[in-house]
């Protein structure tokens, strides 16, 4: 028997695979073999580690050293330095941008330091394809406890007491949902998992399914026991092939080992589970539409009541829980409701996973206790703005159903209630950070484009309303906005919210409303002054060179695709407005901040040729 | 394939214990083999191999090994440092196959430092 002295946990989440894990792994393995270390050092592929921006990443245990941005070429040196000679290979260590020295240990990196892992407890710690490694981390002990020592009522009580709320967006208490379904009487009930993650910029569910598929399955077994269901379906979008593959492997292993099927743990309880692939329509994340989709029909919502707890899939009582919610279940069963409540706030207990993207330095996946200040997530964990010279402007939370939170509210604690008060929603946990170069009207337009596209068409206010609003926003961005447009947009928003059937229509105007609420001046300056101060809307801006700041370096002059900039050495440059197409290239090129953005320039139009 | 029982879950967990004490921490003993150029030249590689073999044979699950660079006393290589939980580290020098086996049994498993091979107890002061 060979003793393995070191485990190398390489991230094989979608992000790191895309940035090169397979090739780097092959190179590393080859190098270890060449040095005769292959027997004592083992490479394990794990799910998403969360620090996607730095991928491919790898953790070395027992030392707990974190390597990032690994490349094939660096592997021989890494093996020689670290695994042969035992000194961390400085070049691949994480470095904090302001500091020169490298930080080797994972728990010293701010990105990881502020996180508390419950949902992601196994991220980067186990091989997601290994049932044994999941079991080694207390896997299926909660299911065993729930099936052999607890009654369905006991399970529901613990989940209710824990204060766990649905992590898919609406935040409905999970225990209550289970209780309703458990009280419904029927010959068949269904336990369903919602893996139809569709918000732009959100990828926490995909990560859980990829990194720890068994945690979802175990949550479903416990939920099924609580409501008295013998059949379950995991609804995953087909765009998540890796998640589907790992879930399927996990389900197969469970069937083989008797963790799914008849008489689990000799308790007499039977539960079967299958995967259903969704085609990627955003509306299928809505529960009634999702159930119609599983039935093979067109995914469209229907009125509630009857609620799914009474009539859901195939008109049988059903519970639909989000991936992240289900992954929280087994620790709650094992450690109890009190333990769960040690983190978070009274009404928002426990932890929440957020996907950080946008103009932020540390793009990735983070899990934090609820109630943590938004500022801590953005500045400490997220590392602040990607471009240090730019100021933070807003963070968009909750995807197309959410809203934009401005700088002034950045101190709020992140809980369901506090986020809703700002006009955004917790949603599934997407956080898109935007810096000062963002046009908020365009941002609202972007999200509305998404919802207008994804509206299923059933309700007129949503189908037509979002389209009309989108046309108005497009007009505003193109300089065709009129006085009174803002008020009409607000009116329309209220109508669409009040008269749409499902969550999609009821929340689609949120990005518009919240940007009007906090950035009304930007709308006004678009409409009245024809001035997009961020310089994003091409028809509504002009670029000028501040002669006092210009160093006459010629950088903008060379970069301009229109040759619209004139100037020579030691003479401040100038932009010829008639030639400028407002492409921003000069603005992004200038190192001295000498390019300023003004309102749309009045240009001499060329006379049409005489006939 | 046999169906898993709750007992099986516990057995699997036990079986994986060594792997996870490596990843989670919570080990009782740590043996550092100094593998700078001097250490490697003096035979540290063989010491490491023997050590891993001993750990495997003893089925010890709470012992981890790691490598580090030159300890500064190149003349006394191969060297290892043995750290038991809540005990000061002990450095050994001039090792060979036999000596490391003895140290492993006496000190790592038994808890008693092998005085005849020990160079020093504790570590240098660092600021």
* A141 near B CB under 8 A: yes
Separation of alpha carbons A233 and A129, rounded Å:
20
Kindly state the tokens that stand for A477: 């961005």
**A147 membership: H or E segment, kind and range:** helix A141-148
* pLDDT tens digits along A445-497: 999 999 999 999 999 999 999 999 999 999 999 999 999 999 999 999 999 99
Please check whether residues A168 and A286 belong to one and the same domain.
yes
- The rounded percent of chain A whose pLDDT value lies above 90 is 70
Any domain includes A208: yes
Asked if the C-beta of A40 comes within 8 angstroms of chain B's C-beta atoms, the answer is: yes
pLDDT at A106: 65
Question: Of the candidates A117, A124, A128, A274, which has an alpha carbon nearest to the alpha carbon of residue A195?
Answer: A274
Q: Binning pLDDT at 50, 70 and 90, where does residue A122 land? A: confident
* Together in a domain, A186 and A301: yes
Q: Which of B13, B36, B65 sits opposite A136 (nearest CB)?
A: B13
CATH 3.40.50.300 fits B26-121, yes or no: no
Query: Are A192 and A242 part of one and the same domain?
Result: yes
pLDDT at A611: 46
Are A17 and A107 members of one domain? yes
Structural domain range at position A555: 541-598
Counted domains in chain A: 5
Chain pair A-B, CB pairs under 8 angstroms:
96
Whole-number Cα distances in Å, A300 to A297, A383, A415, A497, A504: 8, 41, 30, 18, 11
Residue A247 inside a domain? The answer is: yes
- Local confidence band at A342 (pLDDT 50, 70, 90 cut-offs): very high
A557 and A510 share a domain? no
CATH number of the domain bearing residue A170? 3.40.50.11540
Q: Which of A484, A499, A528 is the last residue of a domain?
A: A528
> What's the pLDDT at B123?
63
| Residues A271 and A326 reside in one and the same domain | yes
- The domain boundary residue, chosen from A528, A551, A583: A528
Per-residue pLDDT at A561: 94
State the nearest Cα–Cα gap between A272 and chain B, in angstroms.
15
My answer on whether A302 and A367 are in the same domain is no
Residues A220 and A167 in one domain: yes
Tell whether A33 lies on the interface with B, counting CB pairs under 8 A. no
Structure token digits, residue A464: 């037509």
The reply to whether A24 and A144 lie within a common domain is no
**A107 has a pLDDT exceeding 70:** no
Q: Best-predicted range by mean pLDDT among A328-342, A357-371, A375-389, A592-606?
A: A328-342
Q: How far is CA A261 from CA A136, A234, A251, A265, B3, in A?
A: 22, 16, 10, 10, 10
Claim to verify: residue A336 and residue A458 sit in the same structural domain: no
What is the pTM assigned to this prediction? 0.84
- In a domain, residue A123? The reply is no
| Strand order across the beta sheet in which B63-68 lies | B63-68, B29-34, B80-84, B90-92, B118-121
A187, A264: one domain: yes
Q: Supply the CATH number for residue A44's domain.
A: 3.40.30.10
pLDDT of residue A609: 52
Average pLDDT, chain A: 90
**Out of A132, A140, A141, closest to residue B16 by CB:** A132
Both A334 and A370 in one domain: the answer is no
- On whether residue A88 sits in a domain, the answer given is yes
Of A207 and A217, the one with more pLDDT:
A217
Contacts of B34 in chain A (CB under 8 A): 86
The whole-number pLDDT of residue A103 equals: 63
Final residue of a domain: which of A505, A528, A551? A528
Residues of B engaging A, defined by a Cβ cutoff of 8 Å: 1-6, 9, 12-13, 15-17, 19-20, 22-25, 27, 30, 32-37, 40, 48, 52-53, 55-57, 64-69
Which residue in the set A5, A138, A259 is minimally distant from B64, CB to CB? A5
Banded pLDDT at B23 (limits 50, 70, 90): confident
| pLDDT at residue A1, rounded to an integer | 44
Q: CATH number of the domain that A394 lies in? A: 3.10.20.600
| ipTM of this complex prediction, to 2 decimal places | 0.73
Q: pLDDT tier at A84 (50, 70, 90 boundaries)?
A: confident
């Amino acid at each position: 028997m060979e003793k393995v002295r070191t485990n190398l946990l390489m991230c094989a989440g979608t992000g790191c695979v895309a940035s090169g894990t397979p090739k780097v792994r092959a190179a590393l393995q080859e190098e270890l073999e060449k040095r005769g270390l292959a027997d004592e050092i083992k490479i394990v592929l794990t799910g998403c580690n969360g620090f996607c921006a730095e991928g491919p990443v790898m953790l070395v245990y027992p030392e707990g050293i974190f390597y990032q941005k690994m490349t094939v070429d660096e592997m021989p040196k890494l093996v020689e330095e670290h695994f042969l000679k035992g000194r961390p290979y400085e070049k691949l260590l994480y470095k904090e941008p302001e500091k020169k020295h490298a930080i080797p240990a994972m728990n010293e990196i701010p990105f990881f330091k502020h996180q508390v892992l419950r949902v992601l407890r196994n991220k980067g710690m186990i091989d997601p394809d290994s049932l044994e490694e999941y079991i080694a981390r207390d896997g299926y002990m909660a299911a065993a406890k729930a099936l052999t020592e607890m009654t369905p009522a006991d399970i529901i009580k613990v989940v209710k007491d824990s204060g766990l709320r649905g992590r898919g967006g609406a935040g409905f208490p999970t225990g209550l949902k289970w209780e309703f379904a458990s009280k419904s009487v029927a010959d068949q009930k269904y336990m369903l998992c919602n893996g139809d993650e569709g918000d732009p910029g959100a990828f926490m569910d995909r990560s859980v399914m990829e990194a720890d598929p068994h945690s979802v399955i175990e949550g479903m077994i416990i939920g099924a026991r609580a409501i008295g269901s013998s059949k379950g379906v995991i609804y995953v979008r087909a765009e998540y092939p890796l998640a589907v593959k790992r879930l399927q492997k996990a389900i197969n292993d469970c069937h083989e080992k008797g963790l799914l099927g008849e008489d689990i743990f000799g308790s007499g309880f039977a539960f079967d589970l299958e995967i259903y692939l969704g085609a990627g329509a955003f509306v299928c994340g809505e529960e009634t539409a999702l159930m119609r989709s599983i039935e093979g029909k067109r995914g469209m919502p229907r009125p509630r009541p009857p609620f799914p707890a009474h009539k859901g899939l195939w008109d049988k009582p059903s519970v639909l829980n989000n991936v992240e919610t289900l992954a929280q279940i087994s620790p709650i069963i094992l450690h109890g409701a009190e333990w769960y409540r040690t983190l978070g706030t009274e009404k928002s207990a426990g932890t929440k996973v957020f996907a950080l993207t946008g103009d932020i330095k540390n793009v990735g996946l983070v899990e934090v206790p609820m109630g943590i200040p938004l500022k801590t997530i953005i500045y400490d964990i997220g590392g602040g703005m990607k471009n240090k010279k730019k100021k933070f402007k807003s963070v968009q939370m909750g995807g197309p159903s959410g809203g934009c939170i401005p700088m002034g509210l950045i101190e709020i604690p992140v809980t369901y209630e506090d986020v809703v008060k700002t006009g955004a929603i917790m949603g599934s946990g997407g956080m898109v950070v935007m810096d000062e170069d963002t046009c908020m009207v365009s941002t609202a337009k972007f999200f509305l484009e998404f919802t207008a596209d994804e509206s299923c068409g059933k309700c007129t206010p949503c189908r037509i309303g979002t389209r009309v609003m989108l046309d108005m926003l497009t007009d505003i961005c193109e300089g065709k906005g009129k006085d009174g447009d803002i008020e009409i947009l607000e009116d329309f928003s209220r109508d669409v919210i009040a008269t749409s059937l499902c969550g999609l229509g009821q929340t689609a105007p949120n990005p518009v409303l919240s940007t009007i609420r906090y950035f009304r001046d930007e709308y006004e300056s678009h409409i009245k002054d024809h001035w997009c101060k961020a310089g994003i809307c091409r028809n509504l801006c002009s670029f000028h060179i501040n002669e006092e700041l210009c160093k006459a370096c010629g950088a903008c002059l060379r970069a301009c695709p229109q040759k619209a900039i004139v100037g020579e050495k030691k003479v401040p440059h100038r932009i010829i407005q008639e030639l400028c197409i407002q492409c921003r290239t000069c603005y992004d090129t200038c190192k001295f901040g000498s390019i300023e953005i003004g309102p749309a320039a009045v240009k001499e139009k060329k006379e049409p040729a005489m006939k | 394939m046999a169906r898993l029982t709750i007992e099986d879950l516990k057995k699997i967990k036990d079986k994986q214990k060594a792997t996870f004490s490596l990843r989670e921490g919570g080990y009782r003993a740590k043996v550092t083999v100094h593998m700078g150029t001097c250490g490697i030249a003096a035979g540290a590689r063989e010491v490491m191999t023997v050590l891993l073999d001993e750990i495997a044979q003893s089925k010890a699950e709470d012992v981890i090994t790691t490598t580090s660079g030159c300890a500064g006393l190149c003349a006394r290589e191969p060297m290892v440092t043995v750290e038991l939980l809540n005990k000061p580290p002990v450095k050994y020098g001039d090792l060979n196959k036999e000596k490391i086996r003895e140290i492993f049994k006496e000190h790592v498993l038994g808890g008693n430092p092998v005085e005849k091979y020990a160079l020093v107890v504790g570590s240098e002061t660092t600021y």
